[in-house]
Amino acid sequence: MESNCDTLTLLLAAKEIALAAGDIHLRYFRDPDLRIDAKFNDSDIVTTADKEAESFIIGEILSRFPDSEILSEESGEGGNVRARLRWIIDPLDGTTNFSQGLPMFSVSIGVQVDGLDTVGVVYAPKLGELFEAVAGKGAYLNGRPIECSGKRRLAEAVVATGFPVDKDTNPDNNLSQTVRIAPKLRGLRRLGSAALDLCYVAAGFLDGYWEMNLHEWDVAAGRLIAAEAGALYSLWRPDRGISAVAGSPDIFTQLSLELMKQH
Where does CATH 3.30.540.10 sit in the chain?
3-146
The third-level CATH classification (topology) of the domain covering 3-146 is: Fructose-1,6-Bisphosphatase; Chain A, domain 1 (3.30.540)
Q: What is the pLDDT of residue 4?
A: 61
The three-class DSSP label of residue 8 is helix
Per-residue pLDDT at 119: 98
Q: Quick: pLDDT tens for 9-32.
A: 999 999 999 999 999 999 999 998
Alpha carbons 235 and 233: distance in angstroms, whole number? 7
> What does the DSSP 8-state code read for residue 172?
-
- Residue 74 confidence (pLDDT): 80
Task: Give the fold, CATH level 3, of 154-259.
Answer: D-Maltodextrin-Binding Protein; domain 2 (3.40.190)
The residues of the chain that CATH labels 3.40.190.80 are: 154-259
| pLDDT (tens digit per residue) in 51-73 | 999 999 999 999 999 999 999 98
Q: Is the pLDDT of residue 42 over 60?
A: no
H helix and E strand count, the chain? 7, 15
Instruction: Among 76-85, 109-118, 209-218, name the one with the lowest average pLDDT.
Output: 76-85
Reported confidence tier of residue 224, pLDDT bands at 50, 70, 90: very high
pLDDT value for 210: 98
The model's confidence at residue 143, banded by pLDDT at 50, 70 and 90, is very high
Amino acid at 159: V
**Measured distance CA(131)–CA(16) in Å, rounded:** 13
